[in-house]
Structure 1
Amino acid sequence: MNIEFRLLGELEARAADRRPVHLGHHRQRCVLAILLVEANRTVGADQLAARVWGDDPPPGARGTLRSYLSRLRQALSPAGCLVERRWTGYAVAVDEESVDLHRFRRLVAQARRVGPGEPAMELLDEALRLWRGDAFATLDAPWLNSLRETVARERLLTQLDRAELGLRRGRHAELLPELSALRAAHPLDERLVGQLMLALYRCGHQAEALIEYDRLRRSLAEEFGVDPVPDAQALHHAILRADPELTAGAADRTAGSRPFEFGRH
């Protein structure tokens, strides 16, 4: 690859020799980020303006975009990346593997195709290592702000998929600190809380696992007026009675199922 782009954190571009490529000021960087999300696909001029400025673009927005794109073309062309003016709009012509967001999504999709097992775990680890912070960090554009939440959810689901695979392989002690940290950031995610409860129980912390369930139950009641989903309730009852099926060995014997993937997604 002649150039690599990072969207999963602060926007960066590096040439093949690892030198950073200067991408200009904030609004110009927003334009590039939007086109990289849509790598190789055409974004119409009006659509691009709306994604950058929202419903009230400034006078002369099209001319301003042309100026931004001209500067980006000059900056990126020496590194082999083309910013193209097409009949219906603009596009960045780039190998999608050079954009970390697209590589992340490709690795996650590949992991889900191969099914539960060590190869999937390795693919998810590789995907999660691409993250360096919030997606499009420091960029402020209406479309990117909305997409940031969507991509953050993709990251969380990937973390939970990885945790599920780890729990099936008896890695509860290794996963416990990570799940505890995620729980603090996502207190109402029932799948996450279920995984944390299971890891706590397997580490010999039955009381703490039950406390986590009670916290979830009270939070859901206060926020939404609902009880935890049936699978969460079933896990709670299984922990109460110290069900032997909750042990890591039992999970390995049922590795073809997905007993811990529950919650309102």
Structure 2
Amino acid sequence: MLIRIVGLVTIEHDGIPPQHLSSAQAQVAFTRLILERTTGTSRDQLADTVWPEGLPDTWASALRSVVSRVRAYVTSPLQKPGETPLIAQSGRYLLHLPDDAAVDLEAADMAVTEAKEAFAERAYAVAQQLAAGAVSNLRGSFLPAHEGEWVNGIRDRVDELRLTALELASLSASALRDDHHALRYADEAVRRSPLRESAYRCRMAAYAAVGNRADALRTYQRLREVLAEELGIDPAAETQAAYLELLQTPELPQPRDIAPGPGPQDSLDPHLLGAFDALLPPGR
């Protein structure tokens, strides 16, 4: 079973068409119950999530109706009458999933963690595959029809995780001299977060990997202009170090084919790849 909460909210079973949840209120309730299934969600918390701008006068009965929709959605027709994975216990709602169930956001989070470890170990092909898989799981918007403190917090988490996955995929591709994917992922990261320096550093690394120093330098200049216009600041020291290294390099590596594989590959200049160290696991 695969549960998607980023993009269209669905439950997917092998050999069965995806089940969609159309109600916006039921979607947000279902999503919070999924992500908090270990500890459960209190009735008040769930109500505040469904109605972030204020509870209706009859919110208790309205919440029961929303929960009933979610219960019907998650209850399999194969279960015995009266059995349901969504139960109320001691003022909290608990949702029990099968052991083989996977949630797209949680799978992406795990993949990014593993990709960071693979990147730190210079297993760039593995890192790229994991990061690209995370990007794929994070396509789409998180509950676009809903707002509120809880939803906005998860949305920020999704956005940050997506950007980290894009940057990991880009830098891993750069280390493999895969300029197409390196630029593709870096460009998407810059487009999604135009003031994010690490995304620009990924673009610099992508150009440097194939010997295109001119565009790598232009990327830095564009970042410098954007930061000055929007924030009135200069690029960070690590970005400036990467830029100076490009200026001092007499000749960048020429494009060459490297067969991707699980083992270590030739790396880029340490100033370019090292600029990503802040996103790697502690102690690496």
Q: TM-score, normalised by structure 2?
A: 0.79
CA contact (8 A) 1:191 1:263 kept: no
Tell whether 2:67 aligns with 1:32.
no
Letter in 1 for 2:55: P
Letter in 2 for 1:141: E
Greater helix proportion: 1
CA contact (8 A) 2:37 2:96 kept: yes
Instruction: Specify the alignment match of 1:103 in structure 2.
Output: 107
63-72 or 114-123: which moved more? 114-123
1:103 CA drift (Å): 1.5
Tell whether 2:193 aligns with 1:186.
yes
SS in 2 for 1:140: coil
1:14 CA drift (Å): 3.0
The answer for unaligned runs of 5 or more in structure 1 is: none
Letter in 1 for 2:91: T
Deviation by residue 1:43-99 (Cα, 9 ceiling, x = unmatched)? 111111112212512122222111211232123212667112121311221147422
- Residue pairs, 1:135-154, within 5 angstroms: 135-136=142-143, 138-142=144-148, 143-154=150-161
Letter in 1 for 2:94: A
2: CA distance between counterparts of 1:59 and 1:178?
A: 48
CA contact (8 A) 2:211 2:253 kept: no
- Residue pairs, 1:105-120, within 5 angstroms: 105-114=109-118, 115-117=121-123, 118-120=125-127
Letter in 2 for 1:66: R
CA contact (8 A) 2:52 2:147 kept: yes
Identical aligned residues as a percent: 24
Give structure 1 regions of 4+ aligned residues with deviation exceeding 6 angstroms: 245-250
1:171 CA drift (Å): 2.1
SS in 2 for 1:20: strand
Letter in 2 for 1:167: S
Deviation by residue 1:177-201 (Cα, 9 ceiling, x = unmatched)? 3323432332211111112122223
- Residue pairs, 1:77-96, within 5 angstroms: 77-78=75-76, 82-95=85-98
1: CA distance between counterparts of 2:70 and 2:188?
A: 39
Q: TM-score, normalised by structure 1?
A: 0.84
- Residue pairs, 1:125-204, within 5 angstroms: 125-136=132-143, 138-142=144-148, 143-204=150-211
The answer for unaligned runs of 5 or more in structure 2 is: 257-264, 280-284
1:258 CA drift (Å): 4.7
2: CA distance between counterparts of 1:28 and 1:174?
A: 38
